[in-house]
Amino acid sequence: MNDQWTDRLSNYLDGELNVAERAELEEHLSSCAECSAVLEQLRQVVARAQSLENRAPDSDLWSGVAERIGAAAAVADLDEHRQRKQERLGQRRYSISLPQLVAASVALMVLSGGSAWVVSKAGGAAGEGAMPTATNGTALVSEAPADLATSYDAAVVQLELILKESRSQLDTATVRIIEENLSIIDRAIAQAQRALAMDPASIYLQEHLAATKRQKLEFLRQAALMAGAVS
């Protein structure tokens, strides 16, 4: 046994040798008990590594993570915030500033424009395979159940309810603009869902639908925030 051969054993195990190198090494192994023994030991090392199981940390690390991301003080429990909102109701009326509304509207126009493009593409090129498609079932949105049992839908419903109950805190013009913008987002979501129904495996469409839903969730959260319903 010498380094000339042992140095090749890992590559041999991993199938990294070419045909000639492999044949040469196998010929050597047939006559060298020491190298054969080392090869077997290396196999055991690899098998041991592959059989390791993951272990959770001994102590809870979440509290440290939560503190660092600000989750400890964040809006995490909507029920609790609804209760806080009830206490604040009737205190004063809020208006969304003009720049905020402009920003929201521009974002939504871009969003709905993107959806329209998606739908048109889905109706045309998607059927010809022009869209990127999932190969391993890692769909971002299609995995999610469509009913209200999903946590996303539940959060949206709850925020919509909060907003509905808090609309008296907003002036009429603000309420109207919020409703118009929510309507635009809902249309964008519906368009994305229709496009996805035509091409369920498309990663692009899954991603677009997820982004649109995130947009709605964030818009609702911001609107509820401005209405003083959450903090």
Q: Give residues with Cβ within 8 angstroms of 4, minimum separation 6.
A: none
In the bound state with another protein, the residue whose beta carbon lies nearer, of 96 and 141, is: 141
Among 139, 163, 184, 229, indicate the residue that binds another protein (CB under 8 A): 139
The least distance separating another protein from the CB of residue 7, rounded to whole angstroms, comes to 6
17 binds another protein (CB under 8 A): no
The DSSP element (H or E) to which 186 belongs, if any, is helix 172-198
Among 2, 30, 91, 151, indicate the residue that binds another protein (CB under 8 A): 151
> Within a 13 Å sphere around the CA of 80, how many CA atoms are in the beta-carbon half?
6
Q: Give residues with Cβ within 8 angstroms of 85, minimum separation 6.
A: 162, 165, 166, 228, 229, 230
Among 4, 50, 91, 172, indicate the residue that binds another protein (CB under 8 A): 50
DSSP state of 98: H
Among 82, 221, 224, 227, indicate the residue that binds another protein (CB under 8 A): 221
92 binds another protein (CB under 8 A): no
140 binds another protein (CB under 8 A): yes
C-beta separation of 28 from 35 below 8 A? yes
In the bound state with another protein, the residue whose beta carbon lies nearer, of 66 and 116, is: 66
144 binds another protein (CB under 8 A): yes
C-beta separation of 125 from 131 below 8 A? yes
Q: Which two tokens stand for residue 32?
A: 């060298």
Selection from 148, 153, 174 nearest residue 228 by Cα: 174
Among 29, 32, 42, 130, indicate the residue that binds another protein (CB under 8 A): 42
In the bound state with another protein, the residue whose beta carbon lies nearer, of 144 and 177, is: 144
- Greatest pairwise CA separation for the chain in angstroms: 91
Among 23, 27, 34, 76, indicate the residue that binds another protein (CB under 8 A): 76
C-beta separation of 72 from 66 below 8 A? yes
Within residues 181-210, the interface with another protein by CB under 8 A covers: 203, 206-207, 210
84 binds another protein (CB under 8 A): no
C-beta separation of 181 from 219 below 8 A? yes
Q: Which residues contribute to the site for another protein (CB under 8 A)?
A: 6-7, 9-11, 14, 16, 38, 41-42, 44-46, 48-57, 59, 61-62, 64-66, 68-69, 71, 74-77, 136, 138-141, 143-144, 150-152, 155, 203, 206-207, 210, 213-214, 217-218, 221
